Amino acid sequence: MEYMYLKYFAEDEDYPIFVQSGQHDGDMPIHYHNDFSELVMVTNGTATHVVDNEKYFIKKGDVFVINNHTSHGYEDPHDFKIYNIMYKTEYLYHSVNDIRKSAGFHALFVIEPYLAKEHNFNSRLTLELSDFEFGNQLISSMLMEYTQKNEGYQTFVQSYFMQLIVFLSRKYNFTEINKKDTIIHFATAISYMENHFKEPLSLQMLASKANISTRHFTRIFYETYETTPMNYVLQLRLQYACHLLKKSKLTIIEIAYESGFNDSNYFARQFKNIYGITPTKYRSDIKLL
């Protein structure tokens, strides 16, 4: 099996995005993404998509993500054309902000690609005609900027990519998913964490929203997000605390409670453990900038 790296495609190894359109007249051999993920939109025709040795029919309008550490390829293409956007996985998650509160974002870009490794892959997002045209135009503009490389093109490309992420996240259709499907419940639990991290949360509560056991929820969460559920909540609270330290005049104790901590001393310890300085020092350093 061939191992692919983003640097094989990108001219600038420091830039985390590569965009291209492709037409497949023959089979594409199975390959393995080593250090990047790939967002694919089928723009014409049909093919058989091979994901980790399972085969699935794909057609015009289908949109899916293949994460790193997953093998895939195409067989039996018929007038098959695609757009594919390759990107550093960590870039995506570190670049988005409010869209992380969307269940559709977590479902399409994080959970569905992970479940493709363990369960049958089946793209849940097929764009209807008007939505397809809008998405097609976004990627076409993105590709033009990437190809022509005029001044400021990287900023333009990233701007179009962020628009595309929000658009696709909004279009992710949960209504057509079987109610027993892991994706809808798991994505709902993650969205709940993003929207309610300032409130008391427990592992049992989150697992219940995902409709699975705490053990299964913790396992899937760790393998998907590379951290534990409660540590994820802690990170959300500390990120919000940083925002308040920068933008508000609240006291450190008030910020601790506003961020979801019921103990200001625990907040201070966790803050220093993650950022290496106390909340007070963090705020004073920000004022000096």
- Residue bearing tokens 């983003």: 6
Residue 63 φ then ψ, to 5°: -130, 130
* Residues constituting the chain: 289
Q: Cα separation of 16 and 206, whole Å?
A: 33
CATH number of 2-97+124-171: 2.60.120.10
- Residue bearing tokens 């901590």: 261
Q: Is residue 214 exposed (0-12), middle (13-18) or buried (19+ Cβ within 10 Å)?
A: middle
If you average pLDDT over residues 149-160, what whole number do you get?
94
Q: Where are the alpha helices (DSSP H) in 172-278?
A: 182-196, 203-209, 214-225, 229-247, 252-258, 264-275
Residue 113 φ then ψ, to 5°: -60, -35
182-196 vs 229-247: helix axis angle to the nearest 10? 30
pTM equals: 0.77
H or E element: which one contains 125?
strand 125-126
Instruction: Name the residue with higher pLDDT: 186 or 157.
Output: 157
Q: Cα separation of 249 and 36, whole Å?
A: 41
Residues 197, 224, 222: CA angle, nearest 5 degrees: 70
- Decide if pLDDT at 154 tops 90: yes
Residue 126 φ then ψ, to 5°: -125, 120
User: SS3 for 88?
Assistant: coil
Between 2-11, 43-52, 149-158, the lowest mean confidence (pLDDT) is in 2-11
- Decide if pLDDT at 180 tops 50: no
Residue 104 φ then ψ, to 5°: -60, -40
188's tokens: 């709902």
* Among the four given CATH numbers 1.10.10.60, 3.40.50.11710, 3.20.20.70, 1.10.1200.120, the one describing domain 231-288: 1.10.10.60
Mean residue pLDDT across the chain: 88
- The answer to whether 89 and 68 are in contact (CB under 8 A) is yes
User: SS3 for 149?
Assistant: coil
CA distances from 258 to 12, 91, 108, 176 (A): 42, 29, 31, 38
Q: What is the tens place of the pLDDT at every residue in 33-65? A: 888 999 999 999 999 998 887 888 899 999 999
Domain ranges of the chain: 2-97+124-171, 231-288
Instruction: Name the residue with higher pLDDT: 96 or 34.
Output: 34
